Structure 1
Amino acid sequence: MIHKHKDEAGGKQSCCALDEKTDTKTDDDVGCCSSHGEPENHSDDGHDHDHSNYSQSVFGMFVPSIISLVVLLIALLFDNFFPQSWFSGWVRIAWYIIAYLPVGFPVFKEALEAIKKREIFTEFLLMTIATLGAFYIGEYPEGVAVMLFYAVGEVFQTLAVQRAKSNIKFLLDQRPDTATVMEGENAISKKASEITIGEIIQLKPGEKLALDGKLLSDTASFNTAVLTGESKPDTKQKDATVLAGMINLNTVVLVEVTTAYTDSKLSKILEMVQDATAKKAPTELFIRKFAKIYTPVVVFLAIGICLLPMLFVENYDFNDWLYRALIFLVISCPCALVISIPLGYFGGIGAASKNGILFKGSNFLDLMASVQVIVMDKTGTLTKGVFKVQKVVAVGILEADLVKYTAALETKSTHPVGTAIIEYAKGSEKNTTVTDVEEIAGHGLKGKVDGNEILAGNIKLIKKFNISYDPEIDNTPFTIIVIAINQKYAGYFLIADEIKEDAKEAVQSLHKINIKTIMLSGDKQAVVSAIAKELNIDQAFGDLLPENKIQKVEELKKQNLRIAFVGDGVNDAPVVALADAGIAMGGLGSDATIETADIVIQNDQPTKIFTAINIGRKTKQIVWQNIGLAFTVKAIVLVLGAGGLATMWEAVFADVGVALLAILNAVRIQRMKF
């Protein structure tokens, strides 16, 4: 159906074909309205609209149908229950014309506009011919009823499309209009769009952050559901990055703005979601092309049904065969297909957004539904990308003392491994005296802690000082910091990148649906193999440069496998672009990878890969259910109509009824839990 909205530049009315029934200009703005000219009532900035005004707008969309229904019911009463002598001849015809015009004129107008654009065979023309034909043969009530039910179906279709697109936008466009800015000791309210980088925002409990920034307060807990789909609180420490849309949960905090309003991560996500509906799935594109061929074919078939029997049928009655042809036209209207299929994909994108997954186009829903291999980066995708102490082994000394002495020495280093040991010590090193610190390049540190000589470094450091140690640690694939105290081996720290809590569950879920898993990493092969074994990943390749990752993906593509690649770093961007479906971890992922990716997982959880595939498969299933339903019912009633066994009422069900059933089936995906 054709929707109208105001052009932002000059208020000029333009058209957009949300359901692609015609080739008119497509505009995926949520603020479109129905073919009856009633706009969906969104505020200019895309925020939540006034529900009272919205209700009035919806009621306004039904007004023409209500008027038509009332006039039609009165006419049916005069015809069948309370006959009136004056209700006959031209008076009766005029009465039915009055009932017809509120719903018929907009459709007739759209048919003319389409013809002017050389789009002759549209559903508007089909319905106009069918209903005017019914008037011609004297079936006035049926002519009005067909157009009335069609108009009501159109309104419901419009509302369903608007609701689906509004849900997508509402899930993401959660930026408040204003924010409280600190100017010295004064707190003033300011429009979010006018706040500049470097200004300080005061955020009270329960308030949403309007712009991306850096947390200045020591700690704060946020609800990040709008960005990640997860409702559990996320605690941030001082200097941590906080994003627009997060809700402060506990105490008043201060945030320094680091990104302009229009450049915030939420703004970029919203922009990508709005662009997503422009990228059509193959099924949508097929239906669009099919409708262009299908509609003129049924028009000519209808003409044949009406005229050809005069060559073969005795006692040929033109009006009888015209009636059959009109029924055929009503049934053949492709509403159910061209509205329910895009709506199914809108629903899939909306359901994904609700689960913290952004699909940049409905075509990627189809891709994920058929993916056969998931190729994953290690760091930042399956692991947290943060070094942590996984194990401490103390020999001839208390573990607490080993941790204290080593952490004290590591305070003189800036190496990430040293930072991991300091974090593990939790401040126990603060009451120590550190002197004579020497950094031995490529080996580690040497120094004195509380008068004890401490060596902390790799195995080469211990060997350099000819200190004997446990040879078993030579076989450990992970990073080992060996400690010697006063020239005697004292134990070691095993340090590794921490595996994400749901990584193993993610791999198990993928295996359950027969998807092969492969891990690619620049880390050393021993580490990669150890993690792959722990997670039960099918294949793992380490020691890879970015170009090596590309080669591996190209090798897989040569096997005609449908591949999705999941990554987060800048070096993953080329591989993300090469894969059939590129998936980026959007929470910690680099902007380059997120921009390149086809799908973005907002909360960095590997289990969302399975969720994305599940949503893609469910969406495709619903779309094909609707195609099967529409074709089956229409085929049956078409045959009955051509044989004179179906009336206009069956035709209405085959068109409007099936369309409404398909719409209800399409929108249910947004209510599913994944």
Structure 2
Amino acid sequence: MEHKKHIHKYDSNGNQICCSLEEKIDGQTPPQLLQNEHNENDDRNHSHDPSKSNSSWKEYYPAITSFILLITGIGFDFFGVAFFKGWVRVIWYAIAYIPVGLPVVKESFQALRKGEVFTEFFLMSIATIGAFAIGEYPEGVAVMLFYAVGELFQGAAVRRAKNNITALLDVRPKIANVFRNNVYKEVNPIDVAIGETIQIKVGEKIPLDGTLLSDKASLNTAAITGESKPQSLLVGENVLAGSINMESVINVKVSKLFNDSSVARILHLVQNATAKKAKTELLIRKLAKVYTPIVVYLAIAVCFLPYFFVQDYVFSDWLYRALIFLVISCPCALVISIPLGYFGGLGAASKNGILFKGAMYLDELTKVNTIVMDKTGTVTKGVFKIKEIKIFNSISEDEFMSLLLAIESKSTHPIAKAILEYKSNNPIQEAVAIKEIAGKGLTGTVNGTTIIVGNDKLLHQFNIQTPNELETIVESFVLVAIDNEFAGYVTVADELKEDAKETISAFKKAGIKFIMMLSGDKDSITQKTASELGIVSAKGGLLPEDKLNEVESIKKDSSKVVAFIGDGINDAPVLAASDIGIAMGAMGSDVAIETADIIIQTDEPSKIITGIKIAKATQKIIWQNIILAFGVKIIVLILGTFGMANMWEAVFADVGVALLAILNAVRLQRMSW
């Protein structure tokens, strides 16, 4: 894919290395990009090196040199220095012009060879060279110098935005413990080969896809399956990168290279975050291509037509007015400030943990009036917590939980871990004669008391009656029997994220008219979660194709702009089909992250509200810049036609306005949201 545009390319240190009209964004594969990032990390780790620090200033040297020579020349002119006349003066300003003007002139010739005449490079070249031709040397240097300064401002702002976006990748796995030479060694995941063995400790995110070598594992795969209950795997089963190891240390045999993981794909997207241009920006480029040649022909008319109508026609005067036309017609104020407005929005979003994959999604997000969302991992944490403790005999809660904790301390099941989070006033007692009944629960003895812990099937196996109210409970529960009598139960459920209710309320205040929850989890759990959040419409127990059908049904109403929020592989089809796909990035699956248009790196749903605010502010600043650029250009064009504006006003109308627009755009990254 090739995009014709005025862009800047940077080396691994962030230095501008060239300026061209073309960029093949698909020229590098994700592995190459990943290696570049790997090298960039090394560079950042050695940022104290003075030589590396100095290299970041090299791009400023041409502008600084031209500025010093220009100011010095203007000083010589002002004070009437004797030697500063004739060819000395011409050569002085020519030398001042070369550092900033030569690259632009070269670009102009390259564009002309490709048949592109009305570019800003061509206009800047003929305007400034024309200024030299009529003896306006300082103005010629100043026009090109201000243009170069505008480019430097843009480059600095773009780098800042890209650095903010790239910093988000720090939350992804960066270390793999690989077995080499009979020891486990920490290496960069990019260096791990297929077939090698990696070790993942409790709480760590699995960095690479592979096959489980350990006897069993309990993994938090909420981002992959959509189920809130952790997944239990046995030896030989597939393990997906991004899953979180919930219990004992496990070993995994790598089946895919790191280059095929989510990290490489995200890096590829970050490098090309502005490849997809917003509609407003495309409109501006189209307008620039129309009005620029019109102004060029008008400038020619301004120069030559007065010869037939003005009695005291002076060619140099009318050429000067024509050159003013050309300087004003240069679209750099728009070409620089409009994209930079989007860069400002992208940078502000990245600072807040939000990655927009393209500038167009900043515009689209402001139009959203319908939100459809997943449940597990999106508005819930995807981890179990004790929700209710109900006791049916005279025993106290502390005694009841003390006996339950004694048995559960011998279990590695995720629900057992949730129960062990309970803060008891008494130390956990020692349980003996522990026996595990597969798929049902545990039995054991605590201080001579027989304890049975598990599901209703286990208690019925021991002929213990359970209350009918259990049939109405939608959450997972653990039943407890003491000395063969039913004693009570503990319900365990996925916990809402802290900002979930606040987010739903904020959606409604932001004018989102329709909010719906679609989940692969049980319908009863989905309905209860939706009710707690104040969501009226909800459906559970859905397969990926069911979710897709629901969203496509909603989209049949052309007035609805749909954003879908999810995090799992089962959400990927809907993320792709919706007008805006938003994925939770910290624990989200690779497929969801790759498919989505916007990634919430912190997994906080309230960040979507922040994203909407940033998108609206970006759009506002974009239009401020458009109005500013066109307004000032039109005024100075009229003044220039009647000889009431000189080259300096033309410089301000073009480059000065561009600088003001740039400063306006940079405000986005300094705002607090």
Alpha-carbon offset, residue 284 of structure 1: 2.4
Counterpart among 382, 386, 396 of residue 389 in structure 1: 386
5+ residue gaps, structure 2, are 1-5, 29-36, 211-238, 243-248
Deviations 1:444-502 (A, max 9, x none): 66967556585854599779969484x66655444455556567553333332221222
TM-score with structure 1 setting the length: 0.77
Matches of residues 598-609 of structure 1 in structure 2 within 5 Å?
598-609=597-608
CA RMSD after TM alignment: 4.5
Report the CA distance shift for 1:340/1:77 in structure 2 as closer, same or farther (over 3 A): closer
Partner of 1:556: 554
The answer to whether the 8 Å contact 1:404/1:425 transfers is no
Which range moved further: 497-506 or 422-431? 422-431
After the TM superposition, which of the residue ranges 114-123 and 130-139 deviates more from structure 2?
130-139
| Aligned equivalent of 1:575 | 574
| Cα separation, 2, equivalents of 1:587 and 1:265 | 11
Where does residue 541 of structure 1 map in the other structure?
A: 539
Cα 1:212–1:101 change in 2 (3 A) is same
* Bigger Cα displacement from structure 2, 188-197 vs 114-123: 188-197
Corresponding residue of 1:300: 297
> How far apart are 1:179 and its partner, in Å?
9.9
Q: In structure 2, do the counterparts of structure 1 residues 67 and 377 end up closer, same or farther at CA, with 3 Å as the change threshold?
A: closer
Aligned-partner Cα distance in 1 for 2:503–2:527:
18
What is the match of residue 101 of structure 2?
Answer: 104
Aligned to 1:584: 583
Q: Which residue of 2 aligns with 1:657?
A: 656
Q: Percent identity?
A: 51
Q: Deviation at 1:579?
A: 0.9
Distance 1:555 1:424, change over 3 A: same
Amino acid at match of 2:545: E
- Matching residue of 1:38: none
User: 55-64 vs 510-519, which deviates more?
Assistant: 55-64
Deviations 1:288-334 (A, max 9, x none): 33332232222112112223334444433333222222111111211
Which residue of 1 is the match for residue 622 of structure 2? 623
Trace 1:215-364 onto structure 2 (pairs within 5 A).
Answer: 262=259, 265-364=262-361
> How many angstroms apart in 2 are the aligned matches of 1:529 and 1:178?
40
Match of 2:159 in 1: 162
Change (3 A) 1:164 1:28: farther
Q: Secondary structure at the match of 1:553?
A: helix
Q: Output the CA distance in 2 between the equivalents of 1:509 and 1:425.
A: 34
Which is worse superposed, 549-558 or 141-150?
141-150
Q: Distance in 1 between matches of 2:532 and 2:42?
A: 46
CA separation of 1:453/1:344 partners in 2, compared to 1, >3 Å: closer, same or farther? Answer: closer
Change (3 A) 1:571 1:638: same
Q: Distance in 2 between matches of 1:210 and 1:462?
A: 39
Deviation at 1:415, TM superposition (A): 7.2
State the Cα deviation string for residues 226-261 of structure 1 (Å, max 9, x = none): xxxxxxxxxxxxxxx9999xxxxxxxx999997866
**CA deviation map 1:131-179 (0-9, x unaligned):** 2322333333323332333333333333333343344335536999999
Deviation at 1:420, TM superposition (A): 4.6
SS in structure 1 at match of 2:386: strand
Deviation at 1:578, TM superposition (A): 0.9
Hey, what's the Cα distance between the residues in 1 that align with 2:174 and 2:516? 45
Q: Distance in 1 between matches of 2:542 and 2:250?
A: 42
Distance, in Å, in 1 between the alignment partners of 2:172 and 2:489 is 49
Structure with the larger RCO, 1 or 2 (CA within 8 Å, 6+ apart): 2
Between 379-388 and 53-62, the greater mean CA deviation after superposition: 53-62
The answer to which of 180-189 and 596-605 deviates more is 180-189
C-alpha change, 1:461 and 1:195, in structure 2 (3 Å) is closer
Which of 496, 500, 506 is the equivalent residue of 1:499? 496
Q: Is structure 2 residue 119 aligned with structure 1 residue 113? A: no
Change over 3 Å in CA distance of 1:421–1:543 after alignment to 2 = same
- Find the residue that maps to 1:103 and give its secondary structure: helix
Partner Cα distance (1:650, 1:281) in 2:
31
Q: Which amino acid aligns with 2:515?
A: T
Structure 1 residue matching 2:494: 3-state secondary structure: strand
Give ranges in structure 1 of 5+ residues lacking alignment.
8-12, 31-40, 203-207, 215-240, 245-252
* Partner AA of 1:529 in structure 2: Q
In structure 2, the partner of 1:528 is 526
Say if 2:441 and 2:453, in contact at 8 Å, map to a contact too: yes
TM-score, length basis structure 2: 0.77
Cα 1:321/1:424, change in 2 over 3 Å: same
In structure 2, what is the equivalent of residue 431 of structure 1?
Answer: 431
Deviation at 1:585, TM superposition (A): 1.7
Q: How much does 1:394 deviate?
A: 0.9
CA–CA separation in structure 1 for the residues paired with 2:38 and 2:419:
53
Letter in 1 for 2:118: F
Counterpart contact for 1:15–1:26, Cα < 8 Å: no
SS of structure 2 residue aligned to 1:118: coil
Select 1:122's aligned residue among 112, 119, 123: 119
Residue matched to 2:33: none
Judging changes above 3 Å, is the alpha-carbon distance between structure 1 residues 640 and 255 closer, same or farther for their aligned structure 2 residues?
farther
Asked if 1 retains the 8 angstrom alpha-carbon contact of 2:464 and 2:485, the reply is no
The residue number in structure 1 matching 2:516 is: 518
Indicate the residue corresponding to 2:23 in structure 1. 25
Whole-angstrom CA distance in 1 between matches of 2:507 and 2:666: 26
- Give the partner amino acid of 1:374: I
Tell me the secondary structure at the aligned position of residue 197 of structure 2. Answer: coil
1:35-94 C-alpha deviation (Å, 9 max, x unpaired): xxxxxx99666742747445544544344344444444454444442253x654455444
Deviation digits for residues 397-432 of structure 1, max 9, x if unmatched? Answer: 313444455567778998765665566598847425
Distance 1:672 1:635 in 2: 31
Residue type of the alignment partner of 1:598: D
Q: Secondary structure at the match of 1:276?
A: coil
Q: Which residue of 2 aligns with 1:139?
A: 136
1:422/1:192 CA distance change after superposition, 3 Å = closer
CA distance in 1, matches of 2:75, 2:564: 66
Distance 1:187 1:549, change over 3 A: closer
Select between 575-584 and 154-163 the one with higher mean Cα deviation.
Answer: 154-163
Change (3 A) 1:528 1:354: same
Letter aligned with residue 169 of structure 1: T
> CA offsets per residue over residues 529-579 of structure 1, 9 Å max, x none?
322222122422234332221122112211221111111222111111111
Amino acid at match of 1:64: P
Distance 1:4 1:568 in 2: 33
2:585 partner amino acid: G
Residue equivalent to 1:638 = 637
1:606 and 1:658 map into 2 onto residues whose CA distance is 38
Q: Is the 8 A contact 1:395 1:490 kept in 2?
A: yes
Query: Is residue 611 from structure 1 mapped to residue 591 from structure 2 by the alignment?
Result: no
Partner Cα separation in structure 1 for residue 480 and residue 209 of structure 2: 41
Aligned-partner Cα distance in 2 for 1:425–1:256: 34
Question: Alpha-carbon deviation of 1:210?
Answer: 13
* Alpha carbons of structure 1 residues 138 and 594: separation in structure 2 relative to 1, 3 Å: closer
Greater shift after overlay, 141-150 or 452-461? 452-461
